[in-house]
Amino acid sequence: MSRPLYPYPVEYLSNPSQDELRQLALEHTPAVVKTSCGNLVKVARNKARQAKYTYIIDTPDQAEHYSHQLMVPDEAAGWIAKQEAYILSKGRLIEVQGYLGLGPRAVGVQWLYTPEGANIAGMQSILRFPKEEVLTNGHGFEPTFRVVYTPNFFPEGLPGGQAIIVDLKSYTTYIMGPDYFGESKKAALRMLNEYAFRQGALVLHAGAKEVHVGNKRISMTIMGLSGTGKTTTTFSKQGAVTQPIQDDMVTIWPKGELSITENGCFAKTWGLSEDTEPVIYRGTLSSDAWVENVYFDESGTYDFNKEVLSADEVARLRDVLIATGADATNLDRYVSSEVSPSDVLDSNGVPHDGWDFVKWTGNGRSIIPMSSVEDAADLHDLPEVHSMGILNRDEGADAAMPGILRFTSPEQAAGFFMLGETSKTSAAGKERGKTRSPFTQPFFPLRHSLQAQRFSELAATMPHVDMWLMNTGYVGGDDASVKHGKGHKVKIRHSSAMLEAMLTEEIQWTVDPDFGYEVVDVDAPENAPLLKRVPVAILNPARWYADNGKNGEYRAWVSRMKSERREYLEKFDVDEKIIAATCG
């Protein structure tokens, strides 16, 4: 696509070094602090991506072709012109050039930021592949995608005073108002979704890892919504040799060809510890990392388990909290102890409106370069995909998904991938309950039924690929009930044991009579080693419900799941063969 490389008549700071970007962030980005481990943490106004403020440019008569809301071209042009005026008033842009991926499938991207977005530029600079790794001698850079990001330009008059406006004709995304890194990252990946689909591929919201099974090298993809454990599963060990490839998005092509997107990891940090997630923990504490929305104490030391802030902690962070949108009057009432946590948190610990600052967000993130990821795979030499899975973090009294199951047909896999079931994990602090998201992929801008159709087409070219689902949450409970001996939590060691047994073909499967997928046969002697590592309740929830006098509850869950799943898939006009394989 031929277009001017530099669209605005301003000064460009092209491809600054990481040291230069850190200095720019300290000078220009609000609420940035240098920590005791030498990296920078940004406390953002936004605690998660803002899908409700994302728009595709097109006319209303084309709405059926998209999964996102639309903005008509004339209105979009008006906001884009106002953003340009803001850029001209600033007088300069930070430019990051790079690629999504390596090799012949790599796609060039130009990211442009006004100075207050220096921290976001620093994060994006880590995750892109430098042009020197893709182009001969680094010459001839012609970006396919462009992202223009102005964190402090607020489009007044639009809902929320912010907007992500996507032009799929020119492959340009204009971001106005958000200050959250995920908007930069997903802007290019959203465009890649449409771009790759047009070429016969499908972008998956999935981590990937290389696994050595016997004398074979294979790639495994792991889909999952935020909070399901996608990154944790990608970076945990199964067997003697597993090596991380990607933590978030990959593209699958016919016959199992895999292409990658990013040169690092964007990891959730809530509850992070060296014991459970050593790679991510050590990477987050590296001076090379960038960190967002993670709590830090008065010495600049991270606390990955911080929840409710004390009055003294709010007093110390007052300026930061105000800069990120907290109400000064409420802050002062809390600091003076006029208001206590019990006054502003509901029974689930969710803050009332206007009091979000009382509870630190659980959606802290770290951006870690692949160079800091221990024992990462060679991204220039990746084997074909032989295993594809999806994570469902089931939770609640009716949580009944098996710890691991294997699909018996491409249509069944397509149906469950299309469902994208999980429990909401309160990324922004308030959302709870069950949710579904097609292919766990809220970034696919076209009609969602196209994903199921394309996946079925690709799966037909991959008869060698095992497809599976893993529950990373609970059976028959949640964190509170498990503490009282009711229900079971699927722990990281359980997940690793189940995946290892599946990859090494040590599981004796049996067909589930209700859903037709395969589950672990807990009565088979061959599965005795796995049963020593994983409770029967996790491997076969139906057995646990029956043994605990809850068979009626289980039967009601089966009936409800079949009905809800069918209704959901029919809403997207999914092929009846896929629906029948999924819902019976």
pLDDT digits (tens, 9 = 90+) for 382-406: 999 999 999 999 999 889 999 999 9
Residue range 313-336: mean pLDDT, rounded: 95
CA atoms within 13 A on the CB side of 430: 11
User: CA 383, CA 246: separation in Å to the nearest integer?
Assistant: 14
For residue range 143-153, list pLDDT tens digits in order. 999 999 999 99
Rounded average pLDDT over 41-54 = 94
Strands 434-435 and 422-423: antiparallel
106-120, pLDDT tens digit by residue?
999 999 999 999 999
* pLDDT for the residue numbered 423: 85
At 108, is the secondary structure helix, strand, or coil? strand
The predicted pLDDT at position 239 comes to 60
For 530, other C-beta atoms within 10 Å of its C-beta total 23
Cβ atoms of 358 and 310 within 8 Å: the answer is no
Q: Closest Cα to residue 252, out of 138, 404, 385, 72?
A: 385
**How many Å apart are CA 232 and CA 441, to the nearest integer?**
18
CA trace torsion 279, 127, 459, 256 (10° rounding): -80
User: Quick check: 393 and 410 in contact, CB under 8 A?
Assistant: no
428 pLDDT above the threshold of 60? no
Cα gap 18→352, rounded to integer Å: 39
Query: Crossing angle, helix 576-583 and helix 551-571, to 10 degrees?
Result: 170
CA dihedral of 65, 67, 73, 78, whole degrees rounded to 10: 180
Which pLDDT score is estimated for 153? 98
Is residue 427 predicted with pLDDT exceeding 50?
no
Contact 186, 49 (CB under 8 A): yes
Distance of CA 257 to the CA centre of its chain: 22
Structure tokens belonging to residue 47: 């605690």
| All structural domains of the chain | 11-30+50-179 (3.40.449.10), 203-263+373-583 (3.90.228.20), 290-365 (no CATH)
Question: Are the beta carbons of 154 and 147 closer than 8 angstroms?
Answer: no
In the three-class reduction of DSSP (H, G, I as helix; E, B as strand; rest coil), residue 172 is classed as: strand
Band the pLDDT of 240: cuts 50, 70, 90.
low
The pair of structure tokens assigned to 62 is 């084309």
User: Which pair of tokens denotes residue 262?
Assistant: 């990013």
Read off the pLDDT band of 241 (50, 70, 90): low
545-555: per-residue pLDDT in tens?
A: 999 999 999 99
Average pLDDT over residues 66-91: 98
Count of C-beta atoms within a 10 Å radius of residue 130: 15
Residues counted in the chain: 584
Mean confidence (pLDDT) of the chain: 93
Q: What angle do CA 157, 159, 160 make, to 5 degrees?
A: 105
What's the pLDDT tens digit per position in 443-465? Answer: 999 999 999 999 989 998 999 99
Extract the tokens encoding 160: 């929320």
Q: How far apart are CA 536 and CA 525, in angstroms?
A: 13
The closest alpha carbon to 181, from 14, 294, 283, belongs to: 294
Q: What is the mean pLDDT of residues 57-61?
A: 98
pLDDT score at 426: 43
pTM for this entry: 0.91
| Other Cβ atoms within 10 Å of 479 Cβ, number | 11
- For residue 408, give the nearest of 511, 520, 540, 526 by alpha carbon: 511
Which residue type is seen at 100?
Answer: L
